[in-house]
A and B are shown apart, each in its own frame.
Chain A
Amino acid sequence: MEQSSKRIGKQTVRFQNPVNILSAASTVGPKEGEGPLKEYFDQVITDILYGQKSWEKAESRFVEENMKLAVKKAGMSMEQVDYILCGDLLNQCAGSTFGIRALNRPFFGLFGACSTMGEAMSLGSMLIDGGFAQNVLLGASSHFCSAEKQFRFPLDMGTQRPQTSTWTVTGDGAVVLGRKKGAVRITEVTTGKIVDLGVTDANNMGAAMAPAAADLMMAHFRDTGRGPKDYDLILTGDLGTVGRELVVELLAKEGYYLDQRYTDCGIEIYDPKTQDTHAGGSGCACSAVTFCGYYYPMLLKGKLRRILFIPTGALMSPTTSQQGESIPSIAHGLVIESPEKEEY
């Protein structure tokens, strides 16, 4: 088999071996546990500190507990996991490394900001299709308090949040990918390029990331020859209401019309009317827990047959923001299917 034949177009690969999602697990914090998706999450932790002494330790515990849960739900033991791929928003990906250090498995730490879940699923799928792994455990996490502290202001300061700002999702979403047969599989991956249109407002991430999501969608449609109508659902990561409108506008200019089958995890996870979350949810966990908790089960039950899942990320650091740099953004696309008939 020629290796190059797996590539279709400029940014997309199509897998030749089955890449199955064997399980998905989601553990969230109190705010998410009060939101519209509360009944779909596996675990809601009402203590934002998760019994720990710091926000960072709490985030790591979310990672560890949820990773273990995903493996358990797949009916496996941790020893059967060939690789762990995960990441978070904290400096040096500390939330992930401290979370999985006791799991004792080969590990790749990833940073894709809020697109980390997409990056992990892309690379994990390639590891499996390439025959380098039988099972891969992957995930992404974020924590409202540790993210506020690092990217905005310490919570002790009690600073007010502007209306365009988003609320970082507390939690961890994890998936086990494997070669073993499963009902839901990842069939294609479109890898995003960095798009930076010069937005500098760190309180308006939706507007910064929307062009990256639109660019990814157009690349995907070009590479595959498909259009928005070929998907039961197109799901971006954390653009929020502002960003979603921008994407619809940008795609319409190119002749692709998105309807109500296009939504955003940041819009679905909170109720802005009762939860005071302003522009919506964000953070690595936003797309991760929404996919794992809500949309994966819908694929599993066959309510959705083919979705295009596009976690989005803003790749700035607190230092670059303070120096007035704009926000480079990225999006990663995954085609996830649950075919009616067994194809192999």
Chain B
Amino acid sequence: MEYWNAFWVGGLICVIGQILIDKTKLTSARILVLFVVSGCILGGIGIYEPIKEYAGAGATVPLTGFGYLLSKGVKEEIDAVGALGILTGGLKAAAGGISAAVLFAFFASLLANPKEK
């Protein structure tokens, strides 16, 4: 059941992105930013948390999940160290993901070359 929930919620988030690419003039870079910011706002006002509980990786893997993680990190860090957490919390919580992205991108660049689509 949890696989199914992850699948349809994650899929639905991606469908929104696909519709934005096909039906609007937004570039993919803008959609990316839009998704991260939306996740951040939805996380901040407490809406993303229940979605994550319900769908698991279906909600954390898409870009909105990254936005949610930033907001969650800020909240936790404010509780722990106070106002400084507004600046440090987000990246602290997302450090694993960001470092992994840089590292794996580096390894991928050693192994693969860009191609004509």
Which residues of A are interface residues toward B (Cβ below 8 A)? 29-31, 48, 144-145, 153-163, 170, 201, 203
Contacts and interface: CB of A to CB of B under 8 A. Distances in A.
Given A162-B21, A163-B22, A145 B28 contact: no
A155 B116 contact: yes
Nearest to B28: A159
A293 B117 CA distance: 24
Instruction: Label chain A's interface by main secondary structure.
Output: loop
**Which of B29, B109, B117 has the most CB atoms of chain A within a 10 A radius of its CB?**
B117
A30 B115 CA distance: 12
14 contacts: A29-B116, A30-B116, A31-B116, A48-B115, A144-B116, A145-B114, A153-B28, A153-B29, A155-B116, A155-B117, A160-B28, A162-B25, A163-B22, A203-B25
Nearest to B18: A160
6 smallest CB-CB distances across A and B, nearest first, come from A155-B114, A156-B114, A159-B28, A48-B116, A201-B25, A160-B21
Interface residues of B, number: 11
B105 to A, nearest CB: 9
Interface of B: 21-22, 25, 27-29, 109, 114-117
Nearest to A31: B116
Given A155-B114, A155-B117, 18 more contacts: A30-B116, A31-B116, A48-B116, A144-B116, A145-B114, A145-B116, A153-B28, A154-B114, A156-B114, A157-B28, A160-B21, A160-B28, A162-B21, A162-B22, A162-B25, A163-B22, A170-B116, A203-B25
Instruction: Label chain B's interface by main secondary structure.
Output: loop
B19 to A, nearest CB: 12
Contacts of A161: 117
Contacts of A154: 114
Nearest to A170: B116
Nearest to B29: A153
A286 to B, nearest CB: 16
Contacts of A160: 21, 28
Contacts of B109: 156
Contacts of B25: 162, 201, 203
Contacts of B22: 162-163
A188 B116 CA distance: 39
Contacts of B116: 29-31, 48, 144-145, 155, 170
Nearest to B26: A162
A207 to B, nearest CB: 12
A48 B21 CA distance: 27
**Which of B28, B114, B116 has the most CB atoms of chain A within a 10 A radius of its CB?**
B116
Contacts of B117: 155, 158, 161
A170 B21 CA distance: 25
A203 B116 CA distance: 18
Nearest to B116: A48
A158 B113 CA distance: 12
A223 B99 CA distance: 65
B101 to A, nearest CB: 13
A69 B117 CA distance: 28
Contacts of A157: 28
A203 B29 CA distance: 14
A154 B117 CA distance: 11
Contacts of B21: 160, 162
A206 to B, nearest CB: 15
A112 B25 CA distance: 26
A199 to B, nearest CB: 11
B69 to A, nearest CB: 22
A277 to B, nearest CB: 10
Contacts of A31: 116
Contacts of A48: 115-116
A34 to B, nearest CB: 12
A291 B117 CA distance: 26
B26 to A, nearest CB: 9
B112 to A, nearest CB: 9
